[in-house]
Structure 1
């Protein structure tokens, strides 16, 4: 091989750059003109040079090349000129194995361009021009710099007719791999050419389906269409059981994609044991489906003893949870424990999947008293939460459903110490202080830029107007509460004491009250200066009321951890010790709802007074 490369380098030294007349004639397929420009049948460079010395510009050589070292035969093959191909090979058959700078042969050029007739002509002429004992097979099986044969090139570019021609004339190419370890069949599938793939599998039972990272063509087919999958499965059902570098089977790929038609096609031809194949993480294909939220799944245990419901709970796929809850035949999965004793609910709490937790608890089928192998109940696992808001929601949810803690001495209970509380409060205090300062500034400015302006006596023109007086009251409340919120927030950041939490919570209530007051004050000011037409005031009222109502409900739904019902003295006592912040949060949520209810009522009253 190395000797062949060295000889090709030596030949390249003798090559001459192709003259423009010869190039244009070959490009356009003008066989007669090319024949007139070429010298003799041998096409030797020395003869060409001698003839050019006697008749400049009249004689050319078959050894002339382009800047990319492509020969006359490369050009003819790339353009699909079969007559010119025959003429050039008749004059110089050694061009069949000529390589350009990318080590492409003329056959590569014809295959890449999709000229099936040119491919057929080159192959037949190669066999006729070279003795049976000669290396004509090397010409047809030649590889370029990337290790691609002509069949690789044709498959990569989806040249269906060329693939069919090559498979009829040189079927052994289907077993060749390029430098990346990729087979022509894999490339045909990647080009989405069912015809090209059918041309390969229809001619060779021993064709390679290899792809990168130990994958096969079936994995590539799963990404595209069921027809391609069906073709490959009928050809070689064993493809379904081949594992890649991660020990994943093609069914893992299909299950994660969620295309039921492809999954059914694979299962139709593959052995039943395929569903039990586990990847390097111990997950079956059905676990992969559950992990991606795809419903076609059955109960199979992984290396941790987990079923697909465990995986779905950890990943937060509520659709899988709903599917199991609706199917009475799958009820046994709800409370099934893995090797560590965790149910799906345990794993959901550990993963912080609140929606899954709510859905499972609301089913009424969960046995909330189950402990895992470490002796932890669902409530005990809350202590692993690092987020303040998630911790509060979980505590309230477990309290609602009466989930017990593990037996433990009360004096050994440690308070929850989430890592992000102080950082969250510090960052939030800074932002709220900016907002409260802006609200105070706006409210202060509004008091001296009153609606309706001032009269010549320096008093407000709307003085005595009921709506104007309401505006002044609301604006005063907005300014006062925002200033108080600012003071509390600044003091809390400066003191950093334990009591600063109380000031922080109170400041949030003051700030929200100031924002509500400012919104109502805007409505009163707009109504005061609007014409006496009741329709206009009604529109303003409806817009402000609707906006306020939606805002309050959205905030309550996002911040409310759940409806607190029932009284369990033991649970409440334990929660107060271990999660004191959750109790404070719940109380403040109650105050928040009261304040907003008052705001809505005030809006109703002012609307009726307009």
Structure 2
């Protein structure tokens, strides 16, 4: 019964719909026969002049057979087909047949019943049309069952009509691709049992493209069934190995490399990227090593920009892959290889600000730091494209340590680095630091008049001659003085537009840090002065020392632009020409290095002070 054959307003009465939904075959038979007087009366009240029939429809113009098939009521399906065999080919508003309904809900027995009845009731030449009927999305019953992962239903359909596995729907997608996407291994196994099954998917992908990102269990099944799937390319010319390499599952990559032809590892996408490039871009080190183990010659593949997988890893900052290349003698020829623009991996890492990669490349001792690209830039010249201040400082110091050279250039034409608006950063930071320094000064000032041990009747401190108390007074005085000085310098810096405001800003940060350290030490001495138990003081000492040590180490590691040795070499080194060049283009680098050294010295003095104060106790 086609859509056009359904009479207007021939809608199903409620009793018939409920009975069909619940599979009450006897009641459905009575309603269709009109044997229930009360039911017939109610039906006539809604639809005057008629009784319930098999041609009535529910929502979406679904027949009673659609409802029974979706619920898997095999006895009711048989009864309805015996009464009206035309229901087998009936379609609803979405062009779904009862077979579609049964397949969608995974009713394998219902599917088998419908097909059996169709073979008995439908003419032989119309049977393929019924079994292979497509809805408005172009889906056959097999598509529907595979999409929802109903493995048993797929298996039944494959036994009854295996040729359906070769069909694609309106989106050019095969049942096998849908089965893979559903994650049903059972459904996949059932479909690939048919030799001529189609594996097409969306965007020219095949089932293997989807399987490598879905299930490691499906991949060997598909490869053993049809090894050529490994060489199929999607709309971007990406192979399943590209997909697997981007995900990094080595078991799947190995499975593909084992079954696929050797050419698979050399396939390149629209951008010229191989599977090795893809693994390098994603930082999948084990995948890179596995691909090179199977096909070491694939290391020479270059993309459309003339870049190897090493360039890709350097650009993305994957230092583990760089480390592997520097240790492999067969790959060391890539270290100084240039792309179409003349850039080596070091050029790209410098431009991207990837300090870890730069460090790995330089520490290998095999990278030439003087190579110029097509624009005449050495790796050192790429620092000027860095946008972060801290990144810039680290890169300059690292290259200085390894004696890197800048391109020959008139020194009066050098432009100072302006990758980040440091003036705006300083102004914003000064405002916040001024608030902090004011609060520190206030707290330290208040502590001087709320001394440990309180005051005696003569107005003097009870702990006047206590060494810990005297140490507290000294530390509190330093805290107040340095906090006030920091506040004055910060306020002056915000009000002043001169270059000297930078010097005041830097000094104020040291004063503020010194003030905070003195407050922490002052707290320790105050508690120690008022505590009678030495064990309490010792425990307090351990807590403060450990906390201060962890804080100092954390701040030092976060702010240190490389190693202490590198800082000292920059400050005390003899590469005067290179240092002058750095000062002209990156004037803050030397200043930053000096202040880091000063920061380390202050911190060591603070730790030593904690020890000294504890011994005084």
TM-score normalised per structure 1: 0.92
Q: Residues 561-600 of structure 1: matches in 2 within 5 Å?
A: 561-562=561-562, 563-564=565-566, 565=569, 566-600=573-607
2:42 and 2:410 map into 1 onto residues whose CA distance is: 108
Which residue of 196, 200, 208 maps to 2:191? 200
2:382 is the counterpart of 1:381: yes
2:250 is the counterpart of 1:260: yes
In structure 1, the residue matched to 2:296 is none
Give how far 1:329 is off.
2.4
Conserved in 2, the CA contact under 8 Å of 1:386 and 1:420?
A: no
2:174 is the counterpart of 1:183: yes
1:407 and 1:485 map into 2 onto residues whose CA distance is: 42
Compare 311-320 and 227-236 and name the one that shifted more. Answer: 227-236
1:280 and 1:448 map into 2 onto residues whose CA distance is: 75
Conserved in 1, the CA contact under 8 Å of 2:165 and 2:194?
A: no
- RMSD (Å) for aligned C-alpha atoms: 2.4
2:505 and 2:168 map into 1 onto residues whose CA distance is: 68
Give how far 1:374 is off.
2.3
In structure 1, the residue matched to 2:236 is 246
Equivalent residue of 2:33, what SS? coil
- The verdict on how the C-alpha distance between 1:16 and 1:412 changes in structure 2, with shifts beyond 3 A counting, is closer
In structure 1, the residue matched to 2:104 is 112
In structure 2, the residue matched to 1:163 is 154
Give how far 1:188 is off.
0.4
1:130 and 1:397 map into 2 onto residues whose CA distance is: 82
In structure 1, the residue matched to 2:319 is 318
Q: Residues 363-382 of structure 1: matches in 2 within 5 Å?
A: 363-382=364-383
Give how far 1:341 is off.
2.1
Give how far 1:234 is off.
2.2
Give how far 1:140 is off.
2.3
In structure 2, the residue matched to 1:139 is 130
2:403 and 2:211 map into 1 onto residues whose CA distance is: 51
In structure 2, the residue matched to 1:128 is 120
Compare 269-278 and 89-98 and name the one that shifted more. Answer: 269-278
In structure 2, the residue matched to 1:270 is 260
Which residue of 90, 93, 97 maps to 1:98? 90
Q: Residues 21-420 of structure 1: matches in 2 within 5 Å?
A: 22-39=16-33, 60-133=52-125, 135-205=126-196, 207-295=197-285, 296-297=287-288, 298=292, 299=299, 300-420=301-421
1:404-452 superposed Cα distances (whole Å, 9 cap, x missing partner): 2222233332222233322221222122112112211211222222222
Give how far 1:520 is off.
0.6
Give how far 1:187 is off.
1.1
Equivalent residue of 1:240, what SS? helix
In structure 2, the residue matched to 1:534 is 534
2:283 and 2:183 map into 1 onto residues whose CA distance is: 27
Equivalent residue of 1:527, what SS? helix
In structure 2, the residue matched to 1:465 is 466
Conserved in 1, the CA contact under 8 Å of 2:3 and 2:92?
A: no
TM-score normalised per structure 2: 0.91
In structure 2, the residue matched to 1:436 is 437
In structure 2, the residue matched to 1:19 is 14
Give how far 1:293 is off.
1.4
Conserved in 2, the CA contact under 8 Å of 1:37 and 1:58?
A: no
Conserved in 1, the CA contact under 8 Å of 2:355 and 2:395?
A: yes
In structure 1, the residue matched to 2:295 is none
2:488 and 2:447 map into 1 onto residues whose CA distance is: 21
1:502-542 superposed Cα distances (whole Å, 9 cap, x missing partner): 111111111111111111111111111222x2111111111
Compare 477-486 and 294-303 and name the one that shifted more. Answer: 294-303
Conserved in 2, the CA contact under 8 Å of 1:226 and 1:265?
A: no
Give how far 1:52 is off.
6.0
In structure 2, the residue matched to 1:484 is 485
Conserved in 2, the CA contact under 8 Å of 1:19 and 1:60?
A: no
Give how far 1:59 is off.
5.7
- The verdict on how the C-alpha distance between 1:182 and 1:426 changes in structure 2, with shifts beyond 3 A counting, is farther
1:357 and 1:117 map into 2 onto residues whose CA distance is: 65
1:10-39 superposed Cα distances (whole Å, 9 cap, x missing partner): 51515232332x344433434333323322
Give how far 1:582 is off.
0.8
1:382-405 superposed Cα distances (whole Å, 9 cap, x missing partner): 222222111111111111111122
1:273-300 superposed Cα distances (whole Å, 9 cap, x missing partner): 2222222222111101011112333412
2:43 and 2:548 map into 1 onto residues whose CA distance is: 96
Q: Residues 485-524 of structure 1: matches in 2 within 5 Å?
A: 485-524=486-525
1:52 and 1:595 map into 2 onto residues whose CA distance is: 98
Equivalent residue of 2:256, what SS? helix
Compare 124-133 and 491-500 and name the one that shifted more. Answer: 124-133
1:28-63 superposed Cα distances (whole Å, 9 cap, x missing partner): 43433332332289xxxxxx899969xx99963212
Compare 100-109 and 482-491 and name the one that shifted more. Answer: 100-109
2:14 and 2:413 map into 1 onto residues whose CA distance is: 94
1:124 and 1:160 map into 2 onto residues whose CA distance is: 20
Structure 1: runs of 5 or more not aligned: 42-47
Compare 238-247 and 346-355 and name the one that shifted more. Answer: 238-247
Equivalent residue of 2:217, what SS? helix
Conserved in 2, the CA contact under 8 Å of 1:387 and 1:420?
A: no
Conserved in 2, the CA contact under 8 Å of 1:64 and 1:71?
A: yes
Conserved in 2, the CA contact under 8 Å of 1:387 and 1:421?
A: no
In structure 2, the residue matched to 1:44 is none
Give how far 1:97 is off.
2.5
Give how far 1:146 is off.
3.5
1:50 and 1:465 map into 2 onto residues whose CA distance is: 104
Equivalent residue of 1:457, what SS? coil
Which residue of 3, 7, 12 maps to 1:8? 3
Q: Residues 546-565 of structure 1: matches in 2 within 5 Å?
A: 546-562=546-562, 563-564=565-566, 565=569
Equivalent residue of 2:62, what SS? coil
2:123 and 2:267 map into 1 onto residues whose CA distance is: 52
